[in-house]
C-alpha cells in the first residue's frame, strides 16, 4: 500500500513549500505540488494541511538499553519503550553505554538496537564506554566496526573523574583503530567523546588529529554545554571542524540550555554544520537528597521549539542539528532529509511545533499525537 501525505508545508529541512509526498514501502518516491493517487493501487491519504512536514529526528546519543549506576544499584535506568521515541519524533537513534560497563553490556545494547529495528524505528550503536582500552563485542574495535553492521563508532570519555584518564598514546590508538575499522566496514567511524567536569584542554584535540591524519569531522565532543567555560573552550574546536554536540538536558546553575548554547557557538564563529543536538536520555543521574532522574527523550523537541521561539532561529536551522547534520556525521545516507529516494522518516508538526504525526520507514507510528504502534510488551508493562 502507498501513502500520500497531502498538502503540508515541507521543510526538507530547507523550505520547499506546500507539497504532496508519495511513499512506497520504506521510501519516499515522489514529491510534487500535486500528486494524484495511482489508479488500482491502494493508497492511504494523510491530510497534512496546516501542518509542517519535516524529517524524522536523529538522536545520536541515547542510552537505549538504560544507563546510570553512578549512585548505586538503584540509580540504574531501564530501556525506554518504543512510544517514547515516536512521541518525541525520533525515528533514528544511536545507542551508547554510560558509566556502568559491568551491569550493562555492549551485547545487551546490540540486542536492544535490533529490537527497536524490529519495532519500526532505525537504530545503531557505538562501542566503548567511559574507559580505555575500550570495551568491545568482538575483542577489537576494528572488528566491531568491520563485522557488526550496527556498530558505527566508539564512545570515550575525556576529563571525566569517573573515566580512565587515558594517555595521549592510548587516545591515539583508540582513534586510529576506529578509523581503520570504519574504512574496512565503510562506516563513519565517529569517535564520540563525553566531556566531563575535570579541567582539560579541548583545544589540543584538533592538533592531535591533524598530527595523525584523522579528519576532524570524525570526532564529536558531546555535553559541550555542561558549563559556560567548557562551551567557550570548544568554540575553537568547532571552528576547526570538530563536531560539537549539545546535550538536551534540563539546565541548572551550570548547564547552558541548548538553544542558548547554539547562539553562543554560532556567534563565536562555529559553522552550523558542525553542531548537533542529542538527548542523552534514558540515563539515570543520582542527585543528593533526590530520587534518580531519567531525562526524557522528547526534551530535544522542546529545545527545537525554543531555538525558533526564544532564540529566533529559523525552523530549518533548528532542525539541522537533528537531521542533516547527524546524518552526515554518522554517514546515515538514507536519513535526515525529506527527499525522493530517502527513507520515509517523516514528522508532521502542528502550529506550536509539537509532534502530531510520525512515519518511520514508511510505517505510521503516531497519528494526531496518539500512538498507533507499540513495542511487543509495551501496553502490558508500561
The set of cell numbers assigned to 201 is 584542554
The reported pLDDT for the residue numbered 188 is: 96
How far is the C-alpha of 317 from the C-alpha of 324, rounded, in Å? 10
The reported pLDDT for the residue numbered 70 is: 78
DSSP 92-138: EEEE---S-SSSS-HHHHHHHHHHHHHHTSEEEEEEE-SSSSPP-SS
Longest dimension (CA), the chain: 66
Tens of pLDDT along the chain (382 residues)?
899 999 999 999 999 999 999 999 999 999 999 999 989 999 999 999 999 999 999 999 999 998 887 778 877 888 999 999 999 999 999 999 998 999 999 999 999 999 999 999 999 999 999 999 999 999 999 999 999 999 999 999 999 998 999 999 999 999 999 999 999 999 999 999 999 989 999 999 999 999 999 999 999 999 999 999 999 999 999 999 999 999 986 556 678 999 999 999 999 999 999 999 999 998 865 444 444 555 688 889 999 999 999 999 999 999 999 999 999 999 999 999 999 999 999 999 999 999 999 999 999 999 999 999 999 888 754 4
Q: Which residues contact 112 (CB under 8 A, 6 or more apart)?
A: 64, 65, 79, 95, 123
Q: Which pTM value belongs to this model?
A: 0.95
The reported pLDDT for the residue numbered 68 is: 82
Residue 66 near residue 79 (C-beta atoms within 8 A): yes
The DSSP H or E segment spanning 318 is helix 315-320
The reported pLDDT for the residue numbered 218 is: 97
Q: Which of 100, 121, 74 lies closest to 297 in space, CA to CA?
A: 121
| Domains of the chain (ranges, CATH numbers) | 2-54+337-371 (2.30.40.10), 56-329 (3.20.20.140)
The reported pLDDT for the residue numbered 295 is: 67
How far is the C-alpha of 260 from the C-alpha of 164, rounded, in Å? 31
Report, as residue numbers or ranges, the catalytic residues.
280
The reported pLDDT for the residue numbered 214 is: 97
How far is the C-alpha of 252 from the C-alpha of 148, rounded, in Å? 39
The reported pLDDT for the residue numbered 289 is: 44
How far is the C-alpha of 13 from the C-alpha of 244, rounded, in Å? 20
Burial of 374 (0-12, 13-18, 19+ CB in 10 A): middle
Amino acid at each position: 500500500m502507498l501513502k500520500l501525505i497531502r498538502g503540508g508545508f515541507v521543510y526538507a529541512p530547507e523550505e520547499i513549500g506546500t507539497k504532496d509526498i508519495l511513499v512506497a514501502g520504506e521510501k519516499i518516491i515522489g514529491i510534487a505540488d500535486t500528486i494524484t493517487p495511482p489508479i488500482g493501487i491502494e493508497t492511504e491519504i494523510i491530510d497534512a494541511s496546516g501542518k509542517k512536514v519535516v524529517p524524522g529526528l536523529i538522536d545520536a546519543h541515547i542510552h537505549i538499553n538504560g544507563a546510570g549506576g553512578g549512585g548505586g544499584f538503584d540509580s540504574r535506568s531501564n530501556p525506554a519503550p518504543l512510544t517514547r521515541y515516536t512521541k518525541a519524533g525520533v525515528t533514528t537513534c544511536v545507542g551508547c553505554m554510560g558509566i556502568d560497563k559491568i551491569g550493562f553490556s555492549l551485547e545487551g545494547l546490540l540486542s536492544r538496537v535490533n529490537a527497536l529495528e524490529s519495532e519500526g524505528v532505525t537504530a545503531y550503536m557505538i562501542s566503548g564506554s567511559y574507559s580505555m582500552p575500550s570495551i568491545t563485542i568482538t575483542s577489537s574495535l576494528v572488528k566491531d566496526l568491520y563485522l557488526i553492521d550496527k556498530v558505527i563508532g566508539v564512545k570515550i570519555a575525556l576529563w571525566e573523574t569517573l573515566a580512565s584518564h587515558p594517555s595521549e598514546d592510548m587516545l591515539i590508538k583508540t582513534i586510529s583503530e576506529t578509523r581503520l575499522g570504519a574504512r574496512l566496514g565503510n562506516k563513519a567511524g565517529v569517535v564520540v567523546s563525553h566531556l566531563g567536569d575535570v579541567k582539560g584542554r579541548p583545544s589540543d584535540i584538533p592538533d592531535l588529529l591533524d598530527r595523525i591524519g584523522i579528519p576532524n569531522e570524525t570526532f564529536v565532543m558531546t555535553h559541550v554545554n555542561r558549563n559556560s567555560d567548557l562551551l567557550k573552550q570548544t568554540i575553537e574546536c568547532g571552528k576547526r571542524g570538530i563536531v560539537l554536540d549539545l546535550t538536551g538536558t534540563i539546565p541548572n546553575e551550570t548547564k547552558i540550555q541548548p538553544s542558548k548554547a547554539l547562539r553562543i557557538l554560532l556567534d563565536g564563529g562555529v559553522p552550523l554544520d558542525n553542531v548537533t543536538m542529542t538527548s542523552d536520555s534514558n540515563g539515570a543521574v543520582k542527585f543528593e537528597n533526590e530520587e534518580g532522574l531519567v531525562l526524557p527523550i522528547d526534551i530535544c523537541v522542546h529545545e527545537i521549539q525554543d531555538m525558533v521561539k526564544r532564540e529566533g532561529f529559523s525552523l530549518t536551522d533548528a532542525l539541522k542539528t537533528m537531521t542533516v547534520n547527524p546524518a552526515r556525521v554518522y554517514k546515515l545516507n538514507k536519513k535526515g532529509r525529506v527527499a525522493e529516494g530517502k527513507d520515509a522518516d517523516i514528522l508532521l508538526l502542528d502550529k506550536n511545533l509539537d509532534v502530531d504525526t510520525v512515519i518511520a520507514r514508511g510505517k505510521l507510528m503516531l497519528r494526531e499525537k496518539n500512538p498507533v504502534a507499540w513495542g511487543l510488551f509495551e501496553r502490558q508493562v508500561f
